Amino acid sequence: MGKVIVLASGKGGTGKSTVSVGLAVALVKLNKKVLLVDCDSGMRGVDLMLGVEKELIYDVSDAVGGGCDKSAAIYVTQNIYGLYMMPAALSADDEVSPSVLKELINEIKHEYDYIIIDSPAGTGSGFEAAAAAADRALIVINPEPTSVRGCLNIRRKLTEMGIDDARLVINRFWPERFRAMGIYHDIDDLIDTAQTQLIAIIPEDVQIAAIAQRGESGQKSVPSMEAFRNLAARIEGFNPPLAKKILGI
């Protein structure tokens, strides 16, 4: 039975979708079969990051609404063997309800080792739908107070939904900028303020952002991929070094 992980963020712009794609690619490289589901209706972008946008005909709303067979809304990522994706609806009006999406995920999760669900930012109905079928959550933040506040809001919402297994991913981390901002005493102070156990720190890396925007995710090696590999390994139950040790923070 596949494990279902929702990636969430309390505010937009944290790089959550990039983390979703990076994690999915890293899990595939551990020989896992992965389905990446984009739940950001009206703002979908995972298909662009994976270079499959020209192939799309059906999306998740078609799959649950009877517009197509479920398998028709699942696309093979040609350049990354073992990675599949299901796109979000183009219109926010076609947002899927929590109960319907949960039913869909439960029907297909036995076919995959992992289902990664990329939720829309915030704690609205789109997030609730994305989280409804999840076993655990990764909360993606940037090292700044507004993002940490969003993390606290997401954590409370997850608890209300009965999802207690939530871990923190600090994305776009740049040690020099973090120290120069002087907002937190150190990285542990940031983690304590977020009130969520750390699982990964992803360093700032313009290359991975550029690769994602070109639709080449997973096709080229970049420095930050080590952090994604470590994140995937930790999810698998291994204990590689946290990036904060690698970054010397």
Going by C-alpha positions, the residue among 193, 173, 158, 194 that lies closest to residue 248 is: 173
For residue range 8-57, what is the model confidence (pLDDT) as tens digits? 999 988 999 999 999 999 999 999 999 999 998 878 889 999 988 999 99
CB 141 within 8 A of CB 167: no
Burial class (CB in 10 A: 0-12, 13-18, 19+), 241: exposed
Query: E-assigned strands of 19-177?
Result: 34-38, 75-76, 83-86, 114-118, 136-141, 166-173
What pLDDT is attached to residue 90? 85
For residue range 220-238, what is the model confidence (pLDDT) as tens digits? 667 778 899 999 999 999 9
What pLDDT is attached to residue 95? 85
Q: How confident is the model at residue 248 (pLDDT cuts 50, 70, 90)?
A: low
Q: Which amino acid is at 35?
A: L
Residue 158 CA, distance from chain mean position: 15
Kind of pairing between the strands at 166-173 and 136-141: parallel
Going by C-alpha positions, the residue among 241, 204, 245, 195 that lies closest to residue 223 is: 204
What pLDDT is attached to residue 93? 81
Q: How confident is the model at residue 218 (pLDDT cuts 50, 70, 90)?
A: low
**Looking only at Cα atoms, what is the longest distance across the chain?**
53
What pLDDT is attached to residue 244? 56
What pLDDT is attached to residue 44? 85
Lowest mean pLDDT among 84-98, 140-154, 203-217: 203-217
Residues of the chain with pLDDT > 70, as a percent, come to: 92
Alpha-carbon gap, residue 17 to 9, rounded angstroms: 10
CB 85 within 8 A of CB 56: no
Lowest mean pLDDT among 3-7, 96-100, 156-160, 162-166: 96-100
Q: What are phi and psi of 29, to 5 degrees?
A: -70, -10
Alpha-carbon gap, residue 134 to 191, rounded angstroms: 23
Mean pLDDT computed over 68-85: 92
Going by C-alpha positions, the residue among 141, 155, 21, 31 that lies closest to residue 81 is: 31
| Structure tokens belonging to residue 3 | 């494990």
Note the pTM of the prediction, 2 decimals.
Answer: 0.94
Higher-confidence residue: 246 or 247?
247
Mean pLDDT computed over 78-101: 89
DSSP per position, 81-126? TTEEEEPPPSSGGGPPPHHHHHHHHHHHGGG-SEEEEEPPSSSSHH
